[in-house]
Amino acid sequence: MSSETPPIKVDVWSDVACPWCYIGKRKFEAGSGLFAGGGEGRGVEIEYHSFELSPDTPVDFQGGEAEFLATHKGIPEAQAQQLLDRVTGIAASVGLDYDYDRLQHTNTVLAHEAIHFAKSQGRQLDFMERLFKAYFIDGRHVGKVDDLADLGAEIGLDRAELKSALEEHTHLADVREDQQAAVEYGIQGVPFFVIDGKYGVSGAQEAQTFAQVLEQVWGERSAAPEEVSA
């Protein structure tokens, strides 16, 4: 296949407050690395899209993560803590040190607006990584204008421009457009990966699974010209 073949486009619906989304990010990165290691000028282009798991969450949630999860899922708090312990262990297996004792649960709509601002500056992937780490590892708040502006500045975004965009909700329509697209795709949970616009992969699958799907798409691209000429 020509080295000029465009990269495989991967659209990812995700929420900053979704523990499986950060885990899925790491597993997809590992899978795309396996795929790219096959040579032939293989490339993957990733674009993130907004999905709010709990849009009714207050900006300043009073309580711990186990309490929130228990209320949200209608389960005993002890069971919720067991779920958090399990996900913490899985996160550790991909090199992520989740700290639920420090985590500040919050509404994520402003974070999604900030992600779209970063996208307009060509820094979406960098900012996604920073926000995930801020939320799950660093215990930073990701639901307020000033906090998000600070985090953006840490990766080189213009703090004043980001703050203004958040205060004016410049990118709220972009967030809603992503959410509507999720409805049209039938996406009900995240992470959700749409690969090459035709294959959907739900959840934080293993790296090998992602690599196999990418390999399949690449193989179909290779076969397409032969099918046309036959």
SS3 annotation, the chain = CCCCCCCEEEEEEECCCCHHHHHHHHHHHHHHHHHHCCCCCCCEEEEEEECCCCCCCCCCCCCCHHHHHHHHHCCCHHHHHHHHHHHHHHHHHCCCCCCCCCCCCCCCHHHHHHHHHHHHCCCHHHHHHHHHHHHHCCCCCCCCHHHHHHHHHHCCCCHHHHHHHHHCCCCHHHHHHHHHHHHHHCCCCCCEEEECCCEEEECCCCHHHHHHHHHHHHHHHHHHHHHHHC
Segment 62-117, tens digit of pLDDT = 889 999 999 988 999 999 999 999 999 999 999 999 999 999 999 999 999 999 99
154: CATH:
3.40.30.10
In-domain check, residue 40: yes
Length of the chain: 230
Q: Phi and psi for 35 in degrees, rounded to 5?
A: -65, -50
- For range 150-175, the mean pLDDT: 98
Rounded-to-integer distance, Cα 187 and Cα 193, Å: 10
Question: What pLDDT was estimated at residue 225?
Answer: 55
In-domain check, residue 159: yes
Segment 118-148, tens digit of pLDDT = 999 999 999 999 999 999 999 999 999 999 9
In-domain check, residue 112: yes
- For range 146-174, the mean pLDDT: 98
- For range 161-173, the mean pLDDT: 98
Would you place residue 228 in the very low, low, confident or very high pLDDT band (cuts 50, 70, 90)?
Answer: very low
- For range 212-228, the mean pLDDT: 78
In-domain check, residue 2: no
In-domain check, residue 3: no
In-domain check, residue 1: no
How many independent structural domains does the chain possess? Answer: 1
In-domain check, residue 25: yes
Question: What pLDDT was estimated at residue 39?
Answer: 81
Question: What pLDDT was estimated at residue 1?
Answer: 46
Q: What is the percent of the chain with per-residue pLDDT over 70, rounded to a whole number? A: 95
In-domain check, residue 89: yes
Domain limits for position 111: 8-229
Q: What is the mean pLDDT of the chain?
A: 94
Would you place residue 41 in the very low, low, confident or very high pLDDT band (cuts 50, 70, 90)?
Answer: confident
Question: What pLDDT was estimated at residue 224?
Answer: 62
